[in-house]
A and B are shown apart, each in its own frame.
Chain A
Amino acid sequence: GAVVSQHPSRVICKSGTSVKIECRSLDFQATTMFWYRQFPKKSLMLMATSNEGSKATYEQGVEKDKFLINHASLTLSTLTVTSAHPEDSSFYICSARVAGAAETQYFGPGTRLLVL
């Protein structure tokens, strides 16, 4: 149980385009999902907390107009990287917390984004 999927697993795009990454909880409902970014050989950096039916809460230093987050249902959150630049190239990982349960987060497999 507690399986989280992400799509796509890898994406290459040109500078200036937008990329959408989907995060789905497959066998549970998640009122809260989280989006992380990991740089090579670094820890996971929380970008934002996504709550179903409300606006996302962004961490300090994360541009909300650049990283658009939508949590339209209890099983789906999306991250859209708008007007992508090469410095946005990174490994993006989402996680989900089981509704009403403790603080354990279950992570998706991640999405590798390369902006040319």
Chain B
Amino acid sequence: DQQVKQNSPSLSVQEGRISILNCDYTNSMFDYFLWYKKYPAEGPTFLISISSIKDKNEDGRFTVFLNKSAKHLSLHIVPSQPGDSAVYFCAASAGGFQKLVFGTGTRLLVSP
């Protein structure tokens, strides 16, 4: 049972445009959400997170939106840069200090 889903395995965007990565979840107990970026043969790098008490969190070029009623979150990267090309994982946890459940990842390719 995949509790966190990233339905788009890949996304291609031109440099300077907006990248929108989507994530859906099924467990209504999830109350903390994170986005990680991962390069091949490396560990994930934390990007940004959001608590369920918020619907938006912004950090530089990265913004995460949370729609609790739809059980959906998205990561916006603007402007996209070639260095953003990587696999992006969303993750969720429930009830504080609990394990993270990861999505399957979306491979982002930003072309010059």
Contacts and interface: CB of A to CB of B under 8 A. Distances in A.
Given A44-B89, A103-B97, A107-B36, A93 B102 contact: no
B29 interface: no
Given A43-B89, A102-B32, A104-B49, A49 B43 contact: no
Given A102-B32, A102-B49, A107-B46, 15 more contacts: A6-B43, A44-B102, A46-B100, A91-B41, A93-B44, A94-B43, A95-B43, A103-B34, A103-B97, A103-B100, A107-B36, A107-B43, A109-B42, A110-B41, A110-B43
Interface residues of A, number: 25
Q: Give the dominant DSSP class at A's interface.
A: strand
A63 B101 CA distance: 20
A115 B48 CA distance: 36
Interface string B4-20: 00000000000000000
Contacts of B104: 42-43
Interface in A29-50: 32, 34, 42-44, 46, 49
Contacts of B41: 91, 110, 112
Interface in B10-61: 32, 34, 36, 41-46, 49
